[in-house]
Amino acid sequence: MIIRCAVAVTIAALCVPRGVVAQSDSTLPSAGSYGVSFSIPEGGGSSFGVRKMISPTSNAGVNVQFGFRWVDPGPVNAPDDKTRLTLGLSPDVRLYRGQTRPVVPFVEVSAQASYSEIGTEAKIYGVGAGAGLGVEWFPTVRVSVSGSVGLNAGYSSLNSPDDERTIFSVGTARSNLMFNLYF
């Protein structure tokens, strides 16, 4: 516990330059800057990604998602619990609406591809696309926290010994809370 706290304080001290106040004016990273991002695990999964500022007001990235959770086995007398393993890939583009505020709104367009396996018998393949609105808070030029909400649409294909079907879905979506570090 003490080691984790020490590591967190050290990382925070290295990321925040002297004299920076959380709500001071900050700008987006410069065009050509690269970054890494990760999300807090939510619902049994997390993501890791890379980003690049492709212009002064646009940012492209790709995230790899990993999820693992127990699936409800159904009736009380079911023989075994099942697990669900999910892997996904999600490229996105953010178009920022300003450069000199600590909280910068953006429009995001994304695509998704995923593969899930439930136990050993069911597999789900999915593809989709989404669009939404989000904000990115830059306490410093190199560190940010972001999130978005929007709409998505996609196809999923379920393959199992008992059932095979394709499902089209449209719905609302929200991103996990993403932490970004630019360099």
Tens of pLDDT along 152-178? 999 999 888 888 889 999 999 888 889
Alpha-carbon separation of residue 129 from 66, 70, 99, 112 (angstroms): 18, 27, 27, 6
Is residue 51 classed as helix, strand or coil in its secondary structure?
strand
The reply to whether 117 falls in a domain is yes
Is pLDDT of 8 > 90? no
Q: 110-136: per-residue pLDDT in tens?
A: 999 999 988 777 899 999 999 999 999
Across 19-28, 40-49, 75-84, 116-125, least confident range = 19-28
The reply to whether 14 falls in a domain is no
- List of residues 6+ apart from 135 with CB closer than 8 A: 103, 104, 105, 106, 146, 147, 148
Q: Give the range of the structural domain holding residue 55, as residue numbers without chain letter.
A: 22-72+79-182
Structural domains counted in the chain: 1
Q: Residue 180: left if φ>0, alpha if ψ -120 to 50, beta else—which one?
A: beta
Q: What's the CATH code of the domain at 67?
A: 2.40.160.20
